[in-house]
Chain A
Amino acid sequence: QKEVEQNSGPLSVPEGAIASLNCTYSDRGSQSFFWYRQYSGKSPELIMSIYSNGDKEDGRFTAQLNKASQYVSLLIRDSQPSDSATYLCAVMRDKIIFGKGTRLHILP
């Protein structure tokens, strides 16, 4: 079983709508969870980090964590064309492991 799983997409969302990105992980000992955004040809950059169950909001972004279900999600409200990118879920116990990413396409 792959350690961090994400739907590869592409996920197409109309501009202004909510984009919902999901991630599951296999290691129950994982303690830190991250979402990175990667534009084509660029390096990943951190959007959100979350460490405890529940929701964490930062501007248009909300990260959600459910450790019992081993599930992490990222919601992007009021989606903009500039949000079109690949979103990488990352999980850490002693080292940081990435999923393969979900390609998000915001339709103007």
Chain B
Amino acid sequence: DAGVIQSPRHEVTEMGQEVTLRCKPISGHNSLFWYRQTMMRGLELLIYFNNNVPIDDSGMPEDRFSAKMPNASFSTLKIQPSEPRDSAVYFCASSPLSGANVLTFGAGSRLTVL
């Protein structure tokens, strides 16, 4: 298996632009998680899906952030408009819905908003 695949790996954009991050979970994993990591705040859970349904989006910082999972093999995290404080590494992770709840992380998308 190729693992969790994220794109882009690096994104540099200007304040006010729309940013879309993409994730392909491991085949057969029913749960998908979006985390954001910064030095100040550590690894924060933004939103997670079970069987493509959003379960908890309480970590989404504000209405500028949205996430979708249209099918079992694809999810997007969108920021519109982006702000410099959104600069962070965004990780997608997946896990089986049942069992040990062990997360497998993607390589991350490093976002810089100028």
The range of chain A's interface size is 20 to 34
Asked if B100 and A95 sit within 8 Å, CB to CB, the answer is no
Q: Beyond A43-B105, A95-B55: 7 further Cβ-contacts under 8 Å?
A: A34-B103, A45-B105, A46-B103, A96-B45, A98-B44, A98-B45, A100-B41
Binding site for A on B (CB under 8 A): 33, 35, 41-45, 48, 55-56, 91, 100-108
Asked if B101 and A96 sit within 8 Å, CB to CB, the answer is yes
Give the residues in chain A near B104, CB-CB below 8 Å: 46
The A contact surface, by secondary structure, is strand
The answer, yes or no, to whether A49 is at the interface (CB within 8 Å) is yes
Asked if A101 and B42 sit within 8 Å, CB to CB, the answer is yes
Give the residues in chain A near B48, CB-CB below 8 Å: 95
CB distance from A42 to the nearest CB of B (A): 8
Binding site for B on A (CB under 8 A): 32, 34, 36, 42-46, 49, 88, 90, 92, 94-101
Q: Which of A36, A49, A96, A99 has the most CB of B within 10 A?
A: A96
